[in-house]
Structure 1
Amino acid sequence: MATIKISSQHNWTTETAHQTTNGTWAKWLKLTDGQAERKTLWFMVSLIFQGVLFLPLPAVLIYYFNAPTLILAVTLSLFFANIITGMSGSGIRTILNLFAVSFLAHLIMLAIFAL
């Protein structure tokens, strides 16, 4: 009976698989991992910040700056995505990354239509 022989020609080490860099992304991940015990706080900050600053933004942009109504769909999608992410038990990286994406998306929309 023939047997399968697995040869270890490649010497994989954990050091090459988990290289640490000092780039911006590595610093961001280190920051998010350090906030793991404050996940509920970040979820609430995200909801309050978006409810106060981001949800009124489409009304202002559409009414005063004649922006397309697509902005409303983007804002509500990001808002509900943040709610679902926080309530579903996602990790701190997911919560903070989605909050950062939301923040940047709204800043870009504001810069495009208001300036």
Structure 2
Amino acid sequence: MYGLSVRWSLASAPDGTDTALREYVHDTSLARFTGMEGLRFKTWRTRPGEWFEGTYVFETAAARDAFAASFAEVAADSPGSKIIGSAPVFQETFDVVAVAEGSSGFAAGPGPV
């Protein structure tokens, strides 16, 4: 499996950005990536007030690399960048060594509100 991380800094983001990002992910972005061809899963991570990140895991390096290249072209104008008020601070690819599913199972959908 092949990963991609895209991270934005929230250090200079306006008040309410954390809430706006959570609402955007729950209301729009989650549906956009559910069932996406070549994508195994995507996780949205945040440390409120510090950073916001999309972490993607793709089936093939080609699928990951194609998505990474296309996203890099529009990253500064992406919905996340518009909400945050700045472009991502980094975008990096990585290899996934393994994924373990715990006894509680894998749950797709929104996280805590």
**TM-score, scaled relative to structure 1:** 0.30
Higher RCO (CA < 8 A, seq sep 6+): 2
Answer 1 or 2: which has greater helix percent: 1
Higher-Rg structure is 1
Answer 1 or 2: which has greater strand percent: 2
